Amino acid sequence: MKRNKIFGSIALLSLILTGTITAQIGTPFIHDPSTIVECEGKYYTFGTFGGGLISEDGWTWNGGAERPGRGAAPDALKIGDRYLVAYSSTGGGLGGGHNGKILTMWNKTLDPNSPDFKFTDPIEVASSEGMEDCDAIDAGLLLDPTTGQLWCTYGTYFGFIRMVELDPKTGKRVEGNEAIDIAIDCEATTLMYRNGWYYLLGTHGTCCDGANSTYNIVVGRSKQITGPYVDNVGREMLKGGGKMVIAAHDRVTGPGHFGRWVIDEGVEKMSCHFEADLDQGGRSVLGIRPLLWKNDWPVAGEKFKEGTYEIESERRGYALELVVDFVRMPRGPRGFNRDNDEPIVPVPSQKLEDVISTWPTGNINVRIGDYMFRPHQKWTITAVPDAGGYPGGPYYKIVIEGTERALAATAEAEVITVPEFTGAPEQLWRIDQLIDGTYRIMPKVVPNSNKKLALISIGDSTPTLAEFDMNSDNSKWNFRNH
């Protein structure tokens, strides 16, 4: 994090202190968020200058997380039954110096209301002084799942990104460990491991300029945790390389400070901040996006967009539809000897009013069939206010376009449609984009069941609710906007 980033964070803090911005109460305002960590059923992320956000469902975030030490850009990691928090005290600030310290501390819980909530004294694990080629701030932690070794990356645009090895039992620097240079020209780094690859995530671009921040997250990878980290065209990150993971989009600018959040097998999220959310007054906000993997490269998915879709089964490519009589359209001219000089008159699409009188008025079952862009196959999906959410998204209602006929889970773990959406929990749907870009669709509740079930293609033409299996296309769906 360079000087203007610190300035930006100070400016944000000033606004907070003067009350111009109502801190993080009821809103996801944060800068430089740590990786999201779950503790006792709640989710936590910490930000610059202390404090952080808590969420009970991963969607609604409020202030309340506590971290002593102030400083910048923390990271958090659960190791065993304890939580390790790394953060940096900056010596430079506005004066332009680059004295920095990376500090670690432990806590048994992240819940400030717990009697066990007590951070240990911070331990310095890395530092930078004077004009050396490093700014020791922006810590990122990885417990290597293959070796059990604990690593910490740090640094900014000022010189090298470095990594050091820590003792996962104490959080201290491993004695005698020498820092390794692994990148330049980025900041807010962190590491992750998947499928035999180590990934170094860094943030490029300009920080702390609100709507004008060009912050973006890039990645390189290596078979060795110590590097060299190389991007998709063979450039080392030590030479400035990096493949884009996420940039500005959809009225949010400046994504930075990557954090990986594995929800379930096949369901991963990435956390970051957006320097400015134009829909929230240009504030810096916590961002959560699906994390996709393409050819062993991470890339951010998109927040689900409300709209009207074909819901396509990945199993065979058929579409979710009502079990109603297929109403034929005029077939149109055919044959090989027709007069092609006849004027061409477009055939209107079948409309809801053409067919709805043929539908039953009560509950209607659903099946999966050939997509013919017919009214019984078009689903309008909209977020339901005040219905809560899950990591990265709100609950949605799924209704036939132009109607309130809503998709619902039954006590028999099947799916039907009910004539009217009532907001009942079995009519609320969670939509997660999976690591391969397809989607998992889950009811908030299966009546009389505490099982987490998902919409499944049990046959080519038959949907049901069953346990999600990332390794089966039966569990996956696509939303197609034709």
Partner 1 sequence: MNIKQKTFLLALSSLFLGVSLLQAQPGGDGRQMDDPALYDTTGRSIAEYFAPATKEKMTPDADGFIQRWLLLEPINKPNRSNTVFTDSYLRKAFDTLYFPNQFTILPKDGEKVKVGDNDLAWHALDSKLFNVKLFRFAYGLNKPIYGVIFWAVTVVNSPEEMENVRMAVGSNSASMWWLNGDEAVLLSGDRRMVMDDCVSPRLTLHKGKNVIRGVVINGPGMSDFCVRFLDEKGEPIKNITISCE
Q: Which stretches of the chain bind partner 1, using CB under 8 A?
A: 323-326, 328, 335-337, 367, 369, 412-414, 458-462, 464, 466, 472, 474
Q: Which is nearer to partner 1, 260 or 315 (CB)?
A: 315
Q: Which is nearer to partner 1, 401 or 414 (CB)?
A: 414
Q: Which is nearer to partner 1, 93 or 360 (CB)?
A: 360
Q: Which is nearer to partner 1, 57 or 469 (CB)?
A: 469
Minimum separation from the CB atom of position 419 to partner 1 (A): 18
Say how far apart CA 173 and CA 9 lie, in whole Å: 28
**Is the Cα torsion angle 59, 62, 64, 69 positive or negative in sign?**
positive
Say how far apart CA 482 and CA 479 lie, in whole Å: 10
Side-chain half-sphere exposure of 382, counting CA atoms within 13 A: 13
Q: In Å, what is the CA distance from 322 to each residue of 234, 363, 380?
A: 50, 10, 14
Minimum separation from the CB atom of position 360 to partner 1 (A): 10
Q: Which is nearer to partner 1, 296 or 370 (CB)?
A: 370
Active site residue 277: no
Say how far apart CA 265 and CA 472 lie, in whole Å: 12
Minimum separation from the CB atom of position 313 to partner 1 (A): 12
Q: Which is nearer to partner 1, 279 or 412 (CB)?
A: 412
The residue whose two tokens read 């909530």 is 117
Q: What is the CA radius of gyration of the chain?
A: 26
**Is the Cα torsion angle 417, 423, 429, 431 positive or negative in sign?**
positive
Give the H or E element holding residue 211.
none
Minimum separation from the CB atom of position 310 to partner 1 (A): 18
Q: Which is nearer to partner 1, 384 or 413 (CB)?
A: 413
Phi, psi of 239 (to 5 degrees): -115, 15
Active-site pick, 111, 138, 165, 187: 187
Minimum separation from the CB atom of position 337 to partner 1 (A): 8
Q: In Å, what is the CA distance from 139 to each residue of 104, 135, 239, 390?
A: 9, 11, 21, 27
CB atoms within 10 A of CB 121: 9
Minimum separation from the CB atom of position 362 to partner 1 (A): 15
Identify which of 171, 174, 172, 200 has the alpha carbon closest to the alpha carbon of residue 188.
200
Cβ contacts of 317 within 8 Å, gap of 6 or more = 371
Identify which of 67, 143, 142, 71 has the alpha carbon closest to the alpha carbon of residue 106.
67
First-to-last CA distance in the chain? 44
Q: Which is nearer to partner 1, 300 or 453 (CB)?
A: 453
- Residue 436 DSSP one-character state: T
442 strand-pairing partners: 430
Question: Is the preceding peptide bond at 290 cis, omega within 30 degrees of 0?
Answer: no
Minimum separation from the CB atom of position 325 to partner 1 (A): 4
Chain center to CA of 100: 30
Active site residue 75: no
Minimum separation from the CB atom of position 469 to partner 1 (A): 9
Identify which of 91, 88, 83, 90 has the alpha carbon closest to the alpha carbon of residue 65.
83
Active-site pick, 32, 66, 236, 312: 32
Catalytically active residues, by annotation:
32, 187
